[in-house]
């Protein structure tokens, strides 16, 4: 069997169900439920922000979420298929023209906002 197929077969068992991963696009405002294990206790931490980058494919899929906490930009990178990442919700879809929104890092105030995409409402709005 071909090399890539063998690797993909091995990874397939670990990938999340497609129905558990919403259709995310760069520019979306997302809410990531991240499981934190402290000793034997487990709790869920939510991280809400703008999805500024999606990279990698298959099991290596990574999402970068940026939010502003106390006037300070905070970015977290989540492996989409990690068992620690629980639910991902798409709250708002924006009309963006870039694949990576790194330019948001140098923006402050009103210019930080993204224009909402009114034609394409997010599928999993709750």
Partner 1 sequence: MPAAIIGRKIGMTRHYTADGTHIPVTVIEAGPCAVTQVKTTENDGYSAVQLAFGEIKPRRSTMPQIGHDAKAGVSPRHVHREMRCATDDEATGFELGSTVDVKAFEGVKYVDVVGTSKGKGFAGQMKRHNFKGMCASHGTERKHRTGGSIGSHGTDRGHGAKIKKGKKMAGQMGNERVTVRSLDVIAIDVERNLLVVKGPVPGPNNGYLMVRAARRLYKRKAKKLS
Interface positions with partner 1 (CB under 8 A): 1, 3, 6-7, 9-11, 14, 35, 37, 59-60, 79, 81-84
Q: How far is the CB of 14 from partner 1 (least distance, A)?
A: 6
Q: How far is the CB of 44 from partner 1 (least distance, A)?
A: 13
Nearer to partner 1, 56 or 103 (CB): 56
Nearer to partner 1, 18 or 83 (CB): 83
Among 8, 17, 40, 38, CA closest to 88: 17
CA distance 122 to 105: 24
Q: How far is the CB of 50 from partner 1 (least distance, A)?
A: 24
Using a 10 angstrom Cβ sphere, with 0-12 exposed, 13-18 middle and 19 or more buried, the burial of residue 47 is middle
Nearer to partner 1, 54 or 114 (CB): 54
Q: How far is the CB of 57 from partner 1 (least distance, A)?
A: 12
Residues 6 or more apart in contact with residue 22 via CB below 8 angstroms: 88, 89, 90, 122, 123, 124
Host H or E run for residue 46: strand 41-55
């Amino acid at each position: 069997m071909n090399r890539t197929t063998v690797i993909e077969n091995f990874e397939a068992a670990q990938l999340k169900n497609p129905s558990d991963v919403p259709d995310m696009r760069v520019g979306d405002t997302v809410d990531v439920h991240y499981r934190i294990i402290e000793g034997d206790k487990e709790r869920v931490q939510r991280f809400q922000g703008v999805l500024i980058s999606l990279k990698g494919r298959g099991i290596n899929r990574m999402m970068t979420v940026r939010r502003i906490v106390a006037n300070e930009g905070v970015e977290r990178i989540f492996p989409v298929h990690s068992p620690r990442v629980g639910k991902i919700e798409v709250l708002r879809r924006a009309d963006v023209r870039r694949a990576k929104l790194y330019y948001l890092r140098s923006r402050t105030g009103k210019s930080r906002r993204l224009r909402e995409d009114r034609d394409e409402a997010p599928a999993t709005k709750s």
